[in-house]
Amino acid sequence: MWLIDSSIGRKLIMSITGVFLVLFLLFHSLMNIVVIISPEGYNMICEFLGANWYAMIATSILAAGFVIHILYALFLTFQNMRARGAVKYALKKNQKEVEWTSQNMFILGTIVFGFLALHLYNFWFKMQFVELSGHGDVSKAADGAYWVSQLFSSWIYCLIYIVWLSALWLHLTHGVWSALQSLGLNNKTWLPRVKTISNIISTIVILMFMSIPIYYLLGFGSGI
């Protein structure tokens, strides 16, 4: 099957499924920053995106793309490890020009996945899952501001999320423009522009996410 056997097919799968992750993060960064501006408005969004069929369909599609992205990355990593056996690649002088993020995308992806699982437990499991299943504190299922306040009142969690978001930023700044390049935007004129735009968008998304733990670390979140 050419999608698995060819390098172009493998890049195509990783690129397309990676787009699901970017869309998921872009939407949630815009949504989450509302909690700083208006906790009531944030709760309205949470209630609107609760156990509704449209929210479930959108969540399922984005989650499926993200899961495929992770599983396929694992498959490619183990495939590469098996192909080279016990022999490790020697670092050559010309490899110094290769970006660190490019060489460590799997490690960064693993860190991102680990903290994403923690994030899902802290929010999705206590909110949408509770609303769907009816098990747990249903009265707080749509009170996103409450759960944000509960979590980020702990400076440890604030620092954990900042570290996670830093790894996510490194993963995105390489992954977004690399995905677009794999999808055909590899013109010498446009590639540098695409890379710059991708880095700017990735940075804005991460800063919106990171503003929440920083907001609490600075002591402004006690009233939420």
- pTM across the whole model: 0.78
In angstroms, how far is the first alpha carbon of the chain from the final one? 53
Residue 198: pLDDT over 60:
yes
pLDDT digits (tens, 9 = 90+) for 170-183: 888 877 767 666 66
At 184, the pLDDT band (50, 70, 90 cuts) reads low
Residue 25 contacts residue 201 (beta carbons within 8 Å): no
Distance, C-alpha 45 to centroid of its chain = 20
pLDDT digits (tens, 9 = 90+) for 140-167: 888 999 999 999 999 999 999 999 899 8
pLDDT digits (tens, 9 = 90+) for 40-99: 999 999 888 877 777 778 878 877 877 787 777 777 777 766 766 544 444 444 444 446
Residue 152 contacts residue 212 (beta carbons within 8 Å): yes
Tell me which residue of 28, 50, 71, 17 sits closest to 165, measured CA to CA: 28
What the block records as the tokens of 149 is: 């306040």
Residue 1: pLDDT over 70:
no
What the block records as the tokens of 164 is: 């996670």
Residue 69 contacts residue 21 (beta carbons within 8 Å): yes
DSSP character string of 108-149: HHHHHHHHHHHHIIIIITTTHHHHHH--S-GGGTT-HHHHHH
How high is the pLDDT of residue 40? 94
Domain range annotation of the chain: 2-223
How high is the pLDDT of residue 98? 47
Residue 3 contacts residue 9 (beta carbons within 8 Å): yes
What's the rounded Cα separation, in Å, for the pair 24 and 155?
Answer: 26
pLDDT digits (tens, 9 = 90+) for 108-118: 777 877 887 88
Q: What CATH number is given for 2-223 in this structure?
A: 1.20.1300
What's the rounded Cα separation, in Å, for the pair 15 and 121?
Answer: 27
Give per-residue burial for 15-28: e unless 16+ CB within 10 Å, then b.
bebbbbbbebbeeb
How high is the pLDDT of residue 161? 92
Where do we find the tokens 């504190």?
A: 137
Residue 171 contacts residue 22 (beta carbons within 8 Å): no
pLDDT digits (tens, 9 = 90+) for 6-45: 666 767 777 777 777 788 888 889 999 999 999 999 999 9
What's the rounded Cα separation, in Å, for the pair 82 and 90?
Answer: 17
Where do we find the tokens 């600075």?
A: 218
How high is the pLDDT of residue 96? 47
